[in-house]
Amino acid sequence: MKGIHKDKGLFLTMLTLAFFYFIGGVYQLNIFIYGAHVLSVGEERVSFLLLAVSLGVAAGSVLAGFASEERIELGLVPLGAGALC
């Protein structure tokens, strides 16, 4: 952990990944609640909603990988954040 604080880029990357996983967990909980209480569907249908979100995140990750052309492209971060909201 001491080595992470020495490299600012690595530290910010770790914070960003932690935030991404936090948002993913919040989305997952909200999808369960939304499906059960608002849509009044069973667990099987809620799993399809989770699948759709997972496929969207995967497709966005692949598209970001192609758009960044094998280098770190910080300009794509606001676009990805906007797509999540």
Share the mean pLDDT of the chain. Answer: 82
Residue 11 neighbours by CB under 8 Å, 6+ apart: 4, 5
**Distance between CA 30 and CA 77 in Å, rounded?**
23
Q: Give the range of the structural domain holding residue 10, as residue numbers without chain letter.
A: 2-84
Inter-residue contact 35 to 46 (CB < 8 Å): yes
Residues in the chain: 85
17-56 pLDDT, tens digit per residue, is: 888 889 888 888 899 899 889 999 988 899 998 999 889 8
Q: Which residues contact 20 (CB under 8 A, 6 or more apart)?
A: none
- Give residue 48's pLDDT: 92
User: Domain count of the chain?
Assistant: 1
Q: Residue 5 has what pLDDT?
A: 77
